[in-house]
Structure 1
C-alpha cells in the first residue's frame, strides 16, 4: 500500500456535496481507503476570468492500485459528478488530481507525479500541510511547509481559514 495525496477542486454546482460523495467513492475503490481529509478552503479561480470561487481540499489515501488505474478511477468519479473538459483551467463541478504518490516520480504522457504545479499553488499546499506538513518533494527536496511559507513571504496573501467538511 502506498500513501497518495489527491487534490479536490470545484466551483460549479454543489461542490461540497460532490467532495463528500467523491471521497466516499474513492474510499470504496478496490484496495483503497481514505485515511485523512484536509480542511476545505475557498479560493479565487486560476484561469479564465468570470468564474466563481473554488473550493479546494486534499485527501490522503492508502492504495495498492497502479497509478494509471487510480487515475482512470478518479476520472470516472469526476465524470459521475458532471465534469466536462471544455476549457483549460475552466470552471468545473469536480476536479480530482493525484498530487503525490509516496516519494515516487512518474513522467508519462497521461500522468506526471508529483503534480507539476503543486508547489506553485497555495490552494494545494495549504490543505496538503493540514495533512502532511513535512512531506518532502522528491525532486526539490523541499517540504510542503517550507514552500508554503516561501509563497506567502513573496507577498501572496494567506488563504482564509479553512473549515471542516
Structure 2
C-alpha cells in the first residue's frame, strides 16, 4: 500500500487532564501516514486520484481544536476514525500525536500516542424464518448501514432453504453480504447482535426458528477463537445456505484455515451431498 506522510504538524489545542491544559491549551505535534493507492495519480498527474495533504492538515487542525478530550489516546482514536470516514481514498492510517509540554514534573522531550487503524473487509451471513422474513432481514441490514463505522457492500440474492439442525420449523430465507468496517471482530459482533435484538431475536432452541440470524463468517484473513466468537465461522464448509449466496459475491475468497476458496468449498459440499 502506498503512503503519504505528514510530519510534525503543529496544532495548538485544549486537550488534557488538568484544568490549565483545557483552559490555556498547549502545542501538539501530529504525524500521519495515509495509506492509499497513488499509482493512478502518479501516472495521470491528477490530484483527483490522490489525497490532498493540505486539506488533511487543515482537517486535523480543525478537528483537534473543535473536539476536546482528556486523553491524547482519545484524540488519536477519534481523529483517525474521522479521517477514515470522511476521506474516500483513505484505506488506513498510522497516526501519532505528540505532547511536548506534558506536565509530568520531570525533564522529558515529548510524550506521544501512536495508533494504526484501517478499513477491514468482513462477510456476514443472514437468515430468517419467522413472520415477514424479508422485512426482518432488511431491517437488520439497515442497522449495519446506520453505523458510521460500517460500509455495506455487495449483497447476495436471497434463497429459500430448508431448516438446518433437525428442528421442525418453517423454511429460511438466507443470504450473505460483504462489508467494510473500522470495528474489531468483537465490536462488529455486538452490532450484529444489536440488529438481531431489534427484531426480537430469541435464543430458546439451538438451531431453532428465529426472526433474524446474523453470523460473522470472515474478518479479513484473521483466525480468532474466543468464547463468544470463532472466525472464520466453523460451520462454513457444511452449510450450503451460506456457501451458495457467499459464492455469488466472493467466489474466490480464501478460507484462511482450510486454504480453499469459497467456490471450491461449495463444489466439495455438492460432491459430498
Whether these two folds match at TM > 0.5 is yes
- Over the residues paired in the alignment, what is the CA RMSD in angstroms? 0.9
**Correspondences of 1:78-157 after superposition (within 5 Å):** 78-154=196-272, 156=273
Whichever structure has more strand as a proportion of its residues is: 2
Cα offset, 1:119, TM superposition = 1.2
Structure 1 gaps of 5+ residues are: 157-165
SS in 2 for 1:61: strand
Q: State the 4+ residue runs in structure 1 displaced beyond 4 angstroms.
A: none
SS in 1 for 2:245: helix
Cα offset, 1:50, TM superposition = 2.1
Whichever structure has more helix as a proportion of its residues is: 2
Match of 2:157 among 32, 35, 39: 39
Partner of residue 143, structure 2:
25
Structure 2 gaps of 5+ residues are: 1-118
Cα offset, 1:104, TM superposition = 0.7
1:2 aligns with 2:120: yes
Output the TM-score relative to the length of structure 2.
Answer: 0.56
Question: How many aligned positions are there?
Answer: 155
Could you say which structure has the larger radius of gyration?
Answer: 2
Match of 1:65 among 179, 183, 202: 183
Tell me, yes or no, if the aligned pair for 1:137 and 1:144 is still in contact at 8 Å. yes
SS in 2 for 1:116: coil
Structure with higher RCO (Cα < 8 A, 6+ apart): 1
Cα offset, 1:30, TM superposition = 2.8
Cα offset, 1:22, TM superposition = 1.2
SS in 2 for 1:57: strand
Tell me, yes or no, if the aligned pair for 1:41 and 1:56 is still in contact at 8 Å. yes
